[in-house]
Amino acid sequence: MICELSKEDFHKCKSIINGAGQLEVKAIVEGINPGRIFVDHPISPTTGLVLVRQ
């Protein structure tokens, strides 16, 4: 089931982001930029979708 993470739980996605990927995704996971994150498992996600707010 897909669920949305609260901003307090964005840190759980650090291990699944691509280190050479988009800087915007890293900024959202770090809580620097606004955005939403949806994951496959709320406690230990293995895949996710990041929506950028502009």
Per-residue pLDDT reduced to its tens digit, 2-42: 999 999 999 999 999 988 888 999 999 999 999 999 999 99
DSSP designation for 14: G
Q: Is 14 left (phi over 0), alpha (psi -120 to 50) or beta?
A: alpha
Model pLDDT, residue 53: 82
Model pLDDT, residue 2: 95
Question: What total number of domains does the chain contain?
Answer: 1
- Residue ranges making up the domain that contains 45: 3-52
> CA nearest 54: which of 41, 37, 36?
36
